[in-house]
Chain A
Amino acid sequence: MLLRNAILTVFCVSMLAVAQPATAAKDGPDPIVVNDPQYGEVLFYFYQGEYFPAIVRLLAAQEQAQLTEHEEQAELLLGGMYLSYGHHLEAADIFNRLLAGGADREVRDRTWFFLAKIWHQRGYLDKAQQALDNLSDDLPDNLRREAEMAQSQLYIDGGQYDRAIAMLQNWRGRTEWASYARFNLGVALVRSGDVDSATGILDELGDIDPFNEELAALRDRANLALGYSLLQSGQPYAAKAPLQRVRLAGPFSNKALLGVGWADAEIENYDRALVPWMELRSRDLLDSAVQESMLAIPYALAKLDSISQAADHYLNAIEAFYEETNRIDRTIGFIESGEIFEQFLSDDPLDSTGWYWRLEELPEGPEARYLYHLLATHEFQEGLKNYRDLSYLHKNLDDWQDNVEVYTNMLETRLQAYNERLPLVESALARADLDGMVDSKLEFDSVLKNIEESNDWLALATDREFELWGEITGLERAPALAADIPEAREVRDKIELLKGVLQWQLERDFKDRLWRVRRNLRETGEALVETQRSRRQIDDTMRLEPQRFGELSGRVYSLEPRIEGMKFRVGEKLAEQRAFLQSIAVGELQAQKQRLDVYTVQARFALAAIYDIAATAEEAGE
């Protein structure tokens, strides 16, 4: 048994790991006691964020009933790992089953919360709604705010603006969530047609003092939305203030600059309008605001009667749009070749997968600039995750395919070696008379028993002693010693003495020798029992091994086509997923191209009009 240091219970780990896998486990007070090494091994991979090998080990250990001490914990951990791995439908099944069995309310809430989050992110809006419906009122404050925000977004997604507005208007708290709630309220109001109410809210939000980058971006966004809304409703003076509140270096600055220019143009102050628009000229043409500024500048110049400059700018714009269109075409070709997706993954090893993975940086190259904003969309990121997971699965199956080939060879070699050794073993076994050995041992037991009962100390004499005893008794019987003469008497006394000494020694050593012989016999008996057991094992092995080989071969051979089939299906799905990502990316680029086409037509039309005016003026002059 192994008592670990302060770590959360596995249940908490599995739940919290979904939110913060790297830190959650360190903070809890309860120790984990790892009783099954296989369970500890699962944790070893889990704590490293390697969900795939962790899940495989857990499933294997469950299959072999090796987690007897952690049965319930293992099931919860599995659910948590499925969720972390992005295998949300399977995770939901496990949690549904476990929660039905009665679980702590906090655990239930956290589970449903994370399921709602992942489902919302993956576009399973109905399931996300069901998960949110399952939340109790006791959800911790930080999660509750996020859950309410998700709920309001689901209402907006579903066109239920009134419900979203009602929810967001009652938002409590002063955290940054409140600012997001205000913004979403503005969105819901705009979409429900109540632009006036939205304006007030956006104005208030556009004037906040942001304490972090996220809030600063939110403030910019609110100001931009408000500015354009006012422009659209014919209030260019009012529109300038919010537009000028947008940071010059932020992601919304291009649109803000464009808008400020249009506000000035609307009040016919074209000189001033040219200032922000000229600034946009030096920026990335990829941005639609920059593209539009290329038409706005000659428009303002024409208004200022700088016709020839206006014509030059239109020509520049047409040229720039043409080049940009060509670059987009090349990018479309690159995406359609599929190479870009391999590049996505090539810089990012497939050693870990899961829901937390995000592609943060695009591969270097001229194409990357067109796709940056795609990364911000859930659909593309989630699609990319699936693409990445499928690539991992494909590689995993590739590796197994190689291994299984090795195992097939290994099994064949083992079978061959077995067949070669079998006759030798059988012959050796036939020569070994194990039953005869057992009989001999029993016979020895009987003899020893007789020796002990009859106190036959001579029976345990050594060879030398026995020889001596024979010599002494032989001398005793020598006829010459029978004579009644002093010399014979003296020898007889010496023999008597020698015999007495030898007998005394044999009798003295008898018990010790008896004990040693008995011990040897006992050890022999034990060895015989062990030999008999080994013999039975060999018999069993000889009987079962062909069966085992057959069973293993069957499994190996059946797995080969299974891997092959699975690899084919993963490959198919990989292609389908790639096509899906391609369609998103190409669709986005086509939209950009269409916009450029429209702008080009506008520029050509304006240019033609300028030439027309110029020609008319010339004719009039003549």
Chain B
Amino acid sequence: MWRVTVTRHLLHSLAICMTLLFVGTTIAQESVSADQDPTTAAALEADAAAAASRDKFRSLDQDVQALKKEVLDLNRDLFLLEEELLFPANSQVAFFISMDVGEYFALDSINLKIDGKEVANYLYTEREVDALMRGGVHRLHMANLKTGDHELIAVFTGKGPNARDYRRGATLTFDKGIGAKYMELEITDRVKKQQPEFVIKDWE
């Protein structure tokens, strides 16, 4: 007698196992939540519970989305405030690094001196160099400078043609007038000479 009871119960659980197989129908795509036989009361209950859980998730997700928006807006305001406070428009100078092609030079680091004083020494990660090569522009340094002439010296370190250590400098005397000024330090390829070229210029 007892054996029959156990067998029935086990087979019942086997049936559940069978239907459970349908949880997540595919591996590469989304799952089909056909985890229970919808014709049974238990399955209906499970479906209702899943729907309730989905609703709860959605409600939470919507709140999180709204919060994200608010925090992003707040970050924007803070970012602008920080820039205005630290680098007022009249004295602001920003130094941007850009790279065009970059076949003959693999950038490691850049050292920046303004009027003989070292202001930045930046070591680039592989990910950052990749971003530069794709067209990203890195704001290497921001400074407050008085109006008048200033001397900028940039030293680029990395691997040059044939993966040899490469270190080159570029210099420019620039005039800082009233208002924000943007300087571009550009790394380009001189195809004819198969050498990199380093140019400092006003961002036009």
A residues with a Cβ closer than 8 A to B are 1-5, 7, 25-26, 32, 34, 37, 39-41, 43-48, 52, 55-57, 59-60, 63-64, 85, 87-90, 120-124, 146, 149-150, 153, 156-157, 159, 176, 180, 183-184, 187, 190-191, 193, 214, 217-218, 221, 224-225, 228-229, 231-232, 252, 255, 258-259, 262, 265, 288-289, 292, 295-296, 299, 302-303, 376-379, 382-383, 386, 389-390, 393, 396-397, 400, 403-404, 407, 410-411, 552, 555-556, 559, 562-563, 566, 569-570, 573, 576-577, 580, 584, 602, 605-606, 609-610
Contact = CB atoms under 8 A, between A and B. Distances in A.
Contacts of B21: 221, 224-225, 228, 252, 255
Tell which of A176, A190, A410 has the most Cβ of chain B within 10 Å: A190
B67 A184 contact: no
B14 to A, nearest CB: 6
Given A303-B3, A403-B82, A59 B135 contact: no
Contact of A382 (B57, B81, B85, B100): B57
B186 A43 contact: no
B108 to A, nearest CB: 17
Nearest to A414: B85
Contacts of B132: 44
B143 interface: no
13 contacts: A40-B98, A45-B131, A56-B76, A87-B72, A120-B30, A121-B30, A183-B26, A228-B14, A382-B61, A386-B64, A389-B68, A393-B71, A396-B75
Interface of B: 1-3, 5-7, 9-11, 13-15, 17-18, 21-22, 24-34, 37-39, 53-54, 56-58, 60-65, 67-85, 94, 96, 98, 100-102, 127-128, 130-139, 182, 184, 186, 203-204
Contact of B79 (A60, A121, A187): A60
Contacts of A56: 72, 75-76, 79
A549 to B, nearest CB: 11
Given A41-B138, A123-B58, A90 B76 contact: no
A573 B134 contact: no
A37 B186 CA distance: 12
A591 B56 CA distance: 20
Secondary structure of the A contact surface, majority rule:
helix
Nearest to B98: A2
Nearest to A380: B57
The CB with the most chain A CB atoms within 10 A, among B39, B56, B57, is that of B57
A286 B149 CA distance: 74
A437 B73 CA distance: 52
Contacts of B75: 52, 56, 59, 396, 400
Nearest to A567: B71
A404 B17 contact: no
Given A1-B204, A404-B78, A153 B32 contact: yes
Contacts of B100: 2-5
Contacts of B74: 397, 400, 559, 562-563, 566
Contacts of B94: 37
A122 B137 contact: no
A316 to B, nearest CB: 16
B103 to A, nearest CB: 9
Nearest to A33: B135
A37 B184 contact: yes
A513 to B, nearest CB: 30
A62 to B, nearest CB: 9
Chain B contact residues: over half helix, strand or loop, or mixed? helix
A87 B68 contact: yes
B57 A43 contact: no
Nearest to A62: B76
Contacts of B186: 2
Given A259-B17, A396-B75, A403-B78, 4 more contacts: A44-B128, A265-B7, A570-B67, A609-B1
Given A87-B69, A88-B65, A44 B136 contact: yes
B79 A191 contact: no
B72 A556 contact: no
Nearest to A266: B11
Contacts of B78: 400, 403-404, 559, 563
A414 B96 CA distance: 28
B59 to A, nearest CB: 10
Contact of B67 (A187, A390, A403): A390
A559 B128 CA distance: 32
B79 A232 contact: no
B67 A393 contact: yes
A559 B81 CA distance: 10
A579 B193 CA distance: 64
Contact of B182 (A37, A217, A559): A37
Contact of A4 (B2, B27, B83, B135): B135
Given A1-B204, A123-B57, A552-B85, A57 B17 contact: no
B18 A43 contact: no
For the complex of A and B, list the 3 residue pairs with the smallest distance between their C-beta atoms, beginning with the closest.
A40-B137, A44-B136, A228-B18
